[in-house]
Chain A
Amino acid sequence: GQQLNQSPQSMFIQEGEDVSMNCTSSSIFNTWLWYKQDPGEGPVLLIALYKAGELTSNGRLTAQFGITRKDSFLNISASIPSDVGIYFCAAQGPNDYKLSFGAGTTVTVRA
């Protein structure tokens, strides 16, 4: 089962709004990653975080690696219709390279 608790499970937002989602765990990790998946496609990497406290941006996306190494959040600013999809958090380490995934946040944008 999932080791990462991702919330919210789904959200309906108005175009132009900001979006926030987060992942928490009882375990510590070395790396946090955020992926977006469109139906029938593979997860696409959005942001990678490698250091506790790190704050990284990629265009309208901003993500942070929690200082406790047990959580991460992703913000999307000024959402647009192409932001629709399922967003997954994933975490790696400290003892191996496999990824553990959250259950996903489904984002639907109302035009």
Chain B
Amino acid sequence: DSGVTQTPKHLITATGQRVTLRCSPRSGDLSVYWYQQSLDQGLQFLIQYYNGEERAKGNILERFSAQQFPDLHSELNLSSLELGDSALYFCASSVLGARDTQYFGPGTRLTVL
């Protein structure tokens, strides 16, 4: 158990819908990262938050957004869903420092029908 929790475990929805994925980081970790894992693209970095502020952005679609709340949990919002958005979405957390090590949650499997 990495200490990172994600909900829900599975999500099935239809095209055009909007969903919210939730992540709680390990105790003491201030930084949260979101990654997408698909069969064709592998594991891809989406976005990073640190202590409530956006820190870095990867290849995240404009239909996707995220935020980190004062209690440090984070939410990833996916809207106008398309079939190609079906993937595993992982959250990772770290302390953020010279020896930064990211620990991953169990993921949310999103299926868009």
CA distance A43 to B33 in the complex (A): 13
Interchain Cβ contacts under 8 Å between A and B, 15 examples: A1-B41, A31-B100, A43-B104, A44-B104, A45-B101, A45-B102, A48-B99, A48-B101, A88-B43, A92-B100, A96-B56, A97-B31, A97-B100, A99-B33, A100-B45
Interface residues of A (CB under 8 A from B): 1-2, 31, 33, 35, 40-45, 48, 50, 88, 90, 92, 96-104
**11 new A-B pairs (CB below 8 Å) besides A97-B102, A98-B45?**
A1-B42, A31-B101, A35-B104, A41-B106, A42-B104, A45-B102, A48-B101, A50-B98, A97-B33, A97-B96, A104-B42
B109 contacts A40, C-beta separation under 8 Å: yes
Instruction: Collect the chain B residues with CB atoms within 8 Å of residue A90's CB.
Output: 43
B65 within 8 A of A: no
B25 within 8 A of A: no
CA distance A43 to B107 in the complex (A): 9
B16 within 8 A of A: no
Of all A-B residue pairs in the complex, the 8 with the closest CB atoms, nearest first, are A42-B104, A101-B43, A98-B45, A43-B104, A42-B106, A42-B107, A48-B101, A96-B56
B64 within 8 A of A: no
B107 contacts A41, C-beta separation under 8 Å: yes
Interface size on B, residues (CB 8 A): 30
Instruction: Collect the chain B residues with CB atoms within 8 Å of residue A41's CB.
Output: 106-107
A98 contacts B56, C-beta separation under 8 Å: yes
Give, as a whole number of angstroms, the nearest-CB distance from B15 to chain A: 24
Can you name the residue of chain B whose Cβ is closest to the Cβ of A97?
Answer: B100
B2 within 8 A of A: yes
Can you name the residue of chain B whose Cβ is closest to the Cβ of A2?
Answer: B42
B2 contacts A44, C-beta separation under 8 Å: yes
